[in-house]
Structure 1
């Protein structure tokens, strides 16, 4: 499979993070606690739980990204993802990964949360991610390897991890936004 220009990929990822950040500020930041904590109509996660789940991934991946970025000082030209990285990304991408997955125990959010703190942490993490994407412009996305959160002995290319994180964030932000759609009552 052909690669993609590293700067083009980073531009795309940066746009996604900007959109996620703006959405969190515009939509979630000023919602009442009761709305943020209300479980989904199908019994699924609340908005706060969706964001807390993403925060738990951020707590793992952001320090890993920082370490990886500190190791690389020369930018790459073309990023070529691995089959495993593409698999994980497709699995999480809401467009291609329509199957539901059960969250791993360490990444399952509690029901009782400080919803405002969860939203604030998600916003903070997106801001950090934007800074890391800017730093990634001077790194080789092929050379840096990041351990995967659920199988730490598996190490993926930095570019694969960044794409997975964006797909995972998009998946759960869409899940959170579904809470805000008006419920249509059928007579």
Structure 2
């Protein structure tokens, strides 16, 4: 896919993530946001806090990579390394295989408040800004250290897609918790 179309699809997905969180999750009461369907499952706020923890790492890394001058992205085809293809595929929402997260990225048992939703929405706005900046970047340049093993690097385009699909995956998880909550309340 050419870089312009690739970035447009990521921008559209990010705008949808933000709109969904604002419409479906932000209005909920704190007790509902903290509802856990089971002792080992994440609440809505835990899903969002997990994403916030990743955004706290990846957004600054993306911003740093985008400050480096590069050729315009318009004519490029977005490429993938083996690591990038595997990382994106693992996080796609349609991949139903359960993934385990690293301990420092696992928010289970954290005391969370409404600020988690606000921070998530702020990260989406920041990501949209980064995607706009990426229009002038080389998306195929290896520039983003992988969070759990920083010697490995993702290409800029791979990292942007990884962030977006990871967010889609966990926002869908949060929406499933909300749907289960509605069923639990109606019983």
Distance 1:68 1:94 in 2: 26
Deviations 1:77-118 (A, max 9, x none): 2111112111111111121x2111121011011424332100
Distance 2:145 2:54 in 1: 12
Query: Which SS does the other structure have where 2:136 is aligned?
Result: coil
Aligned counterpart for 2:165 among listed residues 161, 164, 167: 167
Aligned in 2, Cα 1:138/1:144: closer, same or farther, shift over 3 Å? farther
Q: Which residue of 2 aligns with 1:67?
A: 64
- After superposing on structure 2, the runs of 4+ consecutive aligned residues of structure 1 that deviate more than 4 Å are none
Distance 2:128 2:42 in 1: 26
Contact 2:139 2:155 (C-alpha < 8 Å) held by counterparts: yes
Q: CA RMSD in A?
A: 1.7
- Bigger CA drift: 107-116 or 57-66? 107-116
Query: Which SS does the other structure have where 2:178 is aligned?
Result: coil
Q: Which runs of 5+ in 1 are unaligned?
A: none
Aligned ranges for residues 3-152 of structure 1 at < 5 Å? Answer: 4-41=1-38, 43-76=40-73, 77-95=76-94, 97-152=95-150
Distance 1:128 1:7 in 2: 19
Contact 2:145 2:151 (C-alpha < 8 Å) held by counterparts: yes
Aligned in 2, Cα 1:131/1:43: closer, same or farther, shift over 3 Å? same
Contact 1:93 1:171 (C-alpha < 8 Å) held by counterparts: yes
Aligned in 2, Cα 1:81/1:72: closer, same or farther, shift over 3 Å? farther
Distance 1:112 1:45 in 2: 10
Q: Which runs of 5+ in 2 are unaligned?
A: none
Deviations 1:21-67 (A, max 9, x none): 00111111111000001112473000000000000000000100010
Q: TM-score scaled to structure 1, two decimals?
A: 0.92
TM-superposed CA distance for 1:144, in Å, is 4.6
Across the two proteins, how many residue pairs are aligned to each other? 182
Aligned in 2, Cα 1:38/1:24: closer, same or farther, shift over 3 Å? same
Query: Which SS does the other structure have where 1:146 is aligned?
Result: strand
- Bigger CA drift: 45-54 or 137-146? 137-146
